[in-house]
Structure 1
């Protein structure tokens, strides 16, 4: 598998079929979209102003070297590394930002990067961050606004000019089954009836020149939508994968929101403004207009290939443990000039799998319990548990009025949480 996905980048180069100077087509309403929580490039600049970026201009190899530096940063709560000179990068594809949602020096605001995702002060607490993520619950959705074009259309590559094996996709862990280009991007899929557009994060690795293979398993929403299309007799599902999306959008993509809820509207309600989106070149899906990189194509319902292993959020890997997962076909790539690929190098504490997946699932569990009338006042996934535990704060004085014993409460919580996608990772 590694020999298939680790071919030399010198074998092929990308030739942009169309290059656009975005400066000549800037949108009249683009100003709000330039805020750091709504624009990944602005987010990077905000981290620079925070003194939270380590720019690395010497050439670094995506084969383990880049990820080793990211891991060092993650494990020491150091600055986020921005690799401006990745070995094998050509024609603007691509630079790499590591640890976009990891922790940082407590003196600079431990959760400052997450706060920057949501337009909160850099010294915001985790509770303030989770409260912000839940602030759109029950609020009217603010749908995205489709615009004619955007920065993600500055360069367009299609068809036979695409060679994913020529990209400097990182080999993150030595025992990984391939080069995982997708660790912090946002999959975009839509139900066959068009009523549900899902944004989600699910890992994917380079398989060959035109294909990725990625984890698509129940109860993921990406799996649910794939199965809907399969029941319709379709062999391919329209799909896009956007990297370097608005930080508020990637936060919502990490959250186990209810089935059928369109994340774009939730993000709009949470931020108070509609996101600008543009239509893909090859299908009717829309993606954030200021995305750094966009892959367009299809997700197969029947063509599967070995996926994995991958160094997991729990800090371990099972060498050679691969599973059959569906392929993605990439038909078009669009990207910004000097594009940046965000990368999460998961493993030991602390990285995005802990700060986002665990924390946001805990927030959803808290809301589930409150909506069910249970006396839960707070929830958090302790990082020390590799976010496999969720600790709940209980208003014990309210138990008698509810006719609940501690044992009865535990059962009610367990039945509720483990019947929901949010409980998939947890022991409560």
Structure 2
């Protein structure tokens, strides 16, 4: 059975440091500086992971970890495989593994390190944790930019553990923002509220990267993120029953908050604004449900896991996991000879490469990709000699193979989100959050495959073989 090499966030950080990819930063302020350094580092050609310590105004040993999986190598490390290959081959390896994953249910244990330090009721003070004010125009400090929000469906008992943002409001209150009412966490909370009850919630700040990936995935309802993370790791996730809520909490967590999410009719607080993954503020502050924190727990010298949305192309992951899901979906729907799928600009642009077998082959793939590209406005289809992960290669195909008057199509009223900065506020307020998508067929015309001018460039296979033989002389 495949297994990853880490059990919790601390072991992952140790692996990152061993690989030479960790930078330790002392003395940076939680007010804007940690966020600014995180953004600058994420924009570097080989973005390092960051561990912030000695944060002014907070107890020594309280730390923040950011840019955990922003590089290809660390994203692959989180999945437990070697990334010493091309980006597309790494994604292909993940696609193959993902298709074969078997759920591994969590294992209940009796104790957890995060119970070393506990606060209850009136003693809870969230201000002890160095929650960063990530962007200058954010509405406040966010303890949850990469946090796992755990809820239980009151009808089926299904546990949902997904990523939602969490803003701190004073010593014992936070708000949870669910993005939209179709998210599983929101649907579960409303089931409690409709019965006149508060929703029990546990917030995990400092889970291991396999759980971060699982929480980021769009898993179907009733599927467990714990089972998915266990299948990534090759062994069960250890969980402990929360003392207040009884919810299963990862035993390896760093910081945990337990409490109740109140109905909006009972209490709300102004949440946001918050910088989004598009690189814009999508909305002003608005009312959000309040969680009253009844207990907080943390390990000795706790590490807050931060993964703030940043201006593209900076993204949470150096490997576009959802592109692998889309690639598998194309194959399952019978689109043959897909040689690669990639997403650029933080998933807002999807590229599909394929070997054309018939007229309309490229358009068929493009329409399916467009229908399943969340918020993406641009879908490009290229021939199999183009590496879809290489944006320069893709744009070469667009500028030399696509005739705009013949190979560009617009699909209207397609899947988007209120996070889209281009959708007018008035439309968002009435739930109109669709937009158009541009499809660019950057393939050689099917009837000209044989007669189209030959390229001077090495084939992908030849380029890889050349690098394998001579690459060590080209790198430092």
Q: Which residue of the partner structure matches residue 191 of structure 2? A: 228
Candidates 337, 349, 352, aligned match of 1:389: 349
Looking at structure 2, the residues matched to 273 and 301 of structure 1 have their Cα atoms a distance apart, in angstroms, of 37
**How many Å separate the matches in 2 of 1:259 and 1:130?**
26
Alignment of 1:359-374 (within 5 A): 359-374=320-335
Specify the SS of the correspondent of 1:396: coil
User: Aligned residue for 1:335?
Assistant: 298
Contact 2:330 2:365 in 1 (8 A): no
Alignment check: 8 A CA contact 1:256 1:364 kept: no
Query: Are the equivalent residues in 1 in contact too, given 2:148–2:162 (CA < 8 A)?
Result: yes
Given that residues 172 and 292 in structure 2 are in contact (C-alpha distance below 8 angstroms), is that contact kept between their aligned partners in structure 1? Answer: yes
Counterparts of 1:354 and 1:116 in 2: how far apart (Å)? 11
Instruction: Pick the structure with greater CA Rg.
Output: 2
CA distance in 2, matches of 1:407, 1:182: 40
Residue equivalent to 2:51 = 82
Aligned to 1:135, what secondary structure does the other structure show? helix
Structure 1 counterpart SS, 2:188: helix
* Structure 1 Cα separation of the partners of residues 143 and 329 of structure 2: 33
> CA contact under 8 A between 1:47 and 1:53: conserved in structure 2?
yes
Distance in 2 between the 1:197 and 1:134 partners?
Answer: 27
Relative to structure 1, is the Cα distance of residues 326 and 134 closer, same or farther in structure 2, using a 3 angstrom cutoff?
A: farther
Q: In the alignment, is the contact (CA less than 8 A) between 2:172 and 2:293 conserved in 1?
A: yes
How do 1:17-416 and structure 2 match up within 5 A? 36-57=5-26, 59-76=27-44, 77-90=46-59, 94-103=62-71, 111-127=72-88, 128-129=90-91, 131-132=93-94, 135-137=97-99, 139-216=101-178, 217-231=180-194, 233-302=195-264, 303-317=267-281, 321-353=284-316, 355=318, 359-375=320-336, 376-382=338-344, 385-397=345-357, 406-415=362-371
Unaligned segments of structure 1, at least 5 residues: 1-31, 104-110
Question: Could you tell me how far apart the structure 1 residues matched to 2:354 and 2:223 are?
Answer: 28
- Output one character per residue of 1:263-292: Cα deviation in whole Å (capped at 9) or x when no partner: 111222232211111111101211111111
352 and 146 in structure 1: CA distance in 2 versus 1, 3 angstrom threshold: farther
Distance 1:113 1:396, change over 3 A: same
Q: How many residues align?
A: 375
- 1:170 Cα offset (Å): 0.9
**1:16 aligned residue:** none
Which fold has the larger relative contact order, with Cα–Cα distance below 8 Å and residues 6 or more apart in sequence? 1
Residues 163-213 of structure 1: per-residue CA shift (max 9 Å, x gap): 223432111111001111111121111211344211211111112221111
Shift of 1:238: 1.3
Tell me the SS of whatever aligns to 2:331. helix
Residues 378 and 46 (structure 1 numbering): CA distance in 2 closer, same or farther, change over 3 Å?
same
Deviation string, structure 1 residues 68-102 (Cα, Å, up to 9, x no partner) = 2111211113422211211222375x201121122
Measure, in 2, the Cα distance between the counterparts of 1:168 and 1:55.
16
Deviates most, 183-192 or 409-418: 409-418
TM-score (structure 2 length as normaliser): 0.72
Distance in 1 (CA, whole Å) between partners of 2:321 and 2:348 is: 13
Once the two structures are superposed, residues 196-233 of structure 1 have per-residue CA deviations (whole angstroms, 9 ceiling, x without a partner) of 211211111112221111221233221222233334x1
State whether residues 37 and 248 of structure 1, in contact with CA within 8 Å, keep that contact through their aligned partners in structure 2: no
Q: Residue 64 of structure 2 contacts residue 130 of structure 2 at CA under 8 Å; is this kept in 1?
A: no
Distance of 2:196 and 2:5 partners within structure 1: 39
Task: Work out whether residues 255 and 364 of structure 1, in 8 Å CA contact, stay in contact via their aligned partners in 2.
Answer: no
**What CA distance in whole angstroms lies between the structure 2 residues aligned with 1:408 and 1:123?**
33
Q: Which runs of 5+ in 2 are unaligned?
A: 376-414, 418-434, 440-476
Secondary structure at 1:348 match in 2: coil
Equivalent residue, structure 2, for 1:9: none
Question: Shift in Å at residue 130 of structure 1?
Answer: 6.1
User: Which piece of structure 1 moves more, 371-380 or 68-77?
Assistant: 371-380
4+ residue segments displaced more than 6 Å: none
**Residues in 2 aligned to 1:241 and 1:134: alpha-carbon distance in whole angstroms:** 32
Distance 1:67 1:196 in 2: 35
CA contact (8 A) 2:348 2:374 kept: no
* Structure-1 separation of matches of 2:186 and 2:95: 24
| Alpha-carbon RMSD | 2.8
User: 1:253: Cα distance to partner?
Assistant: 0.9
Instruction: Mark the CA change 1:56 to 1:392 in structure 2 (over 3 Å): closer, same or farther.
Output: same
SS at match of 1:96: strand
